Structure 1
Amino acid sequence: MKTKFKTIVVSDVHLGTKGSKSKEIVRFLKQYECENLILNGDIIDGWQLKKSGSWKRKHTRFFNKVIKMMENHDTKVFYLRGNHDDFLDQILPLQIGKLSIIQDMIYESNGKKFFITHGDVFDSITTNLRWIAYLGDIGYTFLLWLNRALNHYRIKRGLPYFSLSQYVKGKVKSAVSYIDQYEEELAKMARAKGCDGIICGHIHKAENREIDGIQYLNSGDWVETMSALAEDHEGNWQLIYYNEINFKSAEDHVILPIQEPEVQFGPFKEVSFYSSENKDLGQPPFRI
């Protein structure tokens, strides 16, 4: 039996990059059913695709799985624009059937309201000083490359996974200070909008805690943490980590369906990965 949630939130999958755990997130989504799936930004990494990234079949399988969720389980999908997939500015807001592509949204459930945003709009570096953001992206990409080499060595010796970038963030005081300030500013934004909580991504740090009476929820990422947020039908939120899922137990109770051909994309209107000059960031948030 699949676990059924009301809402699942994932962010920062960074499809198109070597570090993206696309196979893992597809396997993760196969374990659950949900009424709402919120893709909270940086699902496609347009920045890397413009430079050295490449689109592979395993990246397409992620969207194949999302389409099957819409078709087979009547799941509503909300794709929120992030800074790495800012090419979506050229088409949002857009709604096609059960799929909505939007800037941000207000989510109401069990008497509570949550403001949902990727989070980069509150990051003055990515918003105003784009060249610094790109420089930071290069450094992070290098850390991920170094991290893969390090963990290849550790796996051969039976050692557990080690996140080099998370270790560096934890040691650099300015990074710790930035994360704390980021979380506090988002909590203030939620309060200003009359919401009980904030749901975001962007900084690749999964979290579920209270900040001055505001519930702060961060879904983490699918590059290292491999985490997601899930809400049950009573309104309780939890963080789910891929590495803590007992897939063997779940697979023992699942009857495998008849193999279906993969859903293919296209043709679609051509969209540039370069940012639009006419951004309309002041449009009202999408509400469900």
Structure 2
Amino acid sequence: MKTSFKTIVISDVHLGTKGSKAKEISRFLKQYRCENLILNGDIIDGWQLKKSGSWKRKHTRFFNRILKMIEQSQTNVYYLRGNHDDFLEQILPLQIGRLHILTDMNYESFGKKYFITHGDVFDSITTNLRWIAYLGDVGYTFLLWLNRVVNYYRFKAGLPYYSLSQYIKSKIKKAISFIDDYETELAKMAKAKGCDGIICGHIHKAENRMIDGIHYLNSGDWVETMSALAEDHEGNWQLIYYREIDFRGIQAETQLTPFPLPEATIIPLRQVSFESRSDDDITPPTIRL
């Protein structure tokens, strides 16, 4: 049986790039049922698609999974614009059935109000100095390529996954300072809007903590961290990491037959791989749930 949540938030999938974990995010969403799914920006990487990116079948399958959630579970889907999928500005706002495409939104649940935004609007680099943002995107793309090479050989040597870009960011003082300032400014914005918390993405750093009385939540990314935010039916938020999910147990449970079979006809469970090693403002609408 699928685990049920009230709301799931994901961001920064970057479909159209080699680093996107499209298969993993589709597999992740297949394991859960939710009333609301919030796609908090940078789901499609329009920047890379204009350059060297490519659209593959696995990227289409992600949206097929979203459509199945709408059809089979009556999930409400909210797609918020990010900086890499800023082409959505041409059609905002748009609603088609249970699918809503927005700039940002207010989310109210269990007496608490959260402002949800991708987060790039608070980033002076991406809003005012776009050419620098593009240059930084090139550098990050190179890091992801190098990271795949490094982890290919680590996998061959039986070593666990290692995030080279996360290591570099943790060693550069300016990067650490930027992240701290980014999170603090977002918390200030939420307080100015009279909200109890803020939910964002953008910087690819998953987080769930209090900042000066504001609940700061960041869903992370699906390029390296492979994380999502989930709210249960009591209003509690948690971070879920793909690499920590017991897919073996899930598969075993779903393959159990309700009728006992003769001992001789029991088919053993086949083993599967559980980690992909592919080489490959504005006044926003208030959503009360």
The two structures have a TM-score, normalised by structure 2, of: 0.90
CA distance in 1, matches of 2:163, 2:198: 26
1:183 counterpart = 2:183: yes
Shift of 1:24: 0.1
Q: Distance in 1 between matches of 2:178 and 2:254?
A: 44
Q: Could you say what secondary structure the match of 2:254 adopts?
A: coil
Partners of 1:190 and 1:251 lie apart in 2 by 41
For residues 111 and 228 of structure 2, what CA distance do their matches in structure 1 show?
A: 22
Q: Report the residue type matching 1:108 in the other structure.
A: E
The 5 A counterparts of 1:67-86 are: 67-86=67-86
In the alignment, which residue of structure 2 is the partner of 1:131? 131
Between the aligned partners of 1:174 and 1:9, the Cα distance in structure 2 is 28
Matches within 5 A, 1:106-117: 106-117=106-117
Shift of 1:251: 1.5
Aligned to 2:53: 53
| CA distance in structure 1 between the partners assigned to 2:12 and 2:114 by the alignment | 19
Q: Distance in 1 between matches of 2:285 and 2:147?
A: 38
Partner Cα distance (1:198, 1:208) in 2? 10
Matched residue type, 2:123: D
SS in 2 for 1:209: strand
- Cα RMSD (Å) of the superposition? 0.9
Task: Point out where structure 1 has 5 or more consecutive residues left out of the alignment.
Answer: 257-280
1:285 paired residue number: 284
> Shift in Å at residue 129 of structure 1?
0.2
Match for residue 275 of structure 2?
Answer: none
Distance in 2 between residues matched to 1:196 and 1:249, nearest whole Å: 37
Residue 286 of structure 1: how far off its partner (Å):
2.1
Q: 1:286 to 1:255 in 2, by over 3 A?
A: farther
What amino acid maps onto 2:241 in structure 1? Answer: Y
Name the structure 2 match of 1:252: 252
Aligned to 1:96: 96
Report the equivalent of 1:220.
220
Corresponding residue of 1:259: none
CA distance in structure 1 between the partners assigned to 2:251 and 2:107 by the alignment: 32
Aligned to 1:272: none
Deviation at 1:253?
1.8
Listed as ranges, the matches of 1:165-244 within 5 Å are 165-244=165-244
Alpha-carbon displacement from aligned partner over 1:79-111 (angstroms, at most 9, x marks no partner): 000000000000010000000000000000000
Q: Which amino acid aligns with 2:141?
A: T
What is the aligned-residue identity percentage? Answer: 79
Match for 2:91: what amino acid? I
Secondary structure of the 1:195 match is: coil
Runs of 4+ in 1 over 4 A off after TM superposition: none
Return the letter of the residue paired with 1:186: L
CA distance in 1, matches of 2:200, 2:253: 33
Partner SS state of residue 100, structure 1: strand
- Supply the distance in 1 between the matched residues of 2:155 and 2:82 (Cα, whole angstroms): 33
Q: Normalized against structure 1, the TM-score is what?
A: 0.90
The higher-RCO structure (CA 8 Å, 6+ apart) is 1
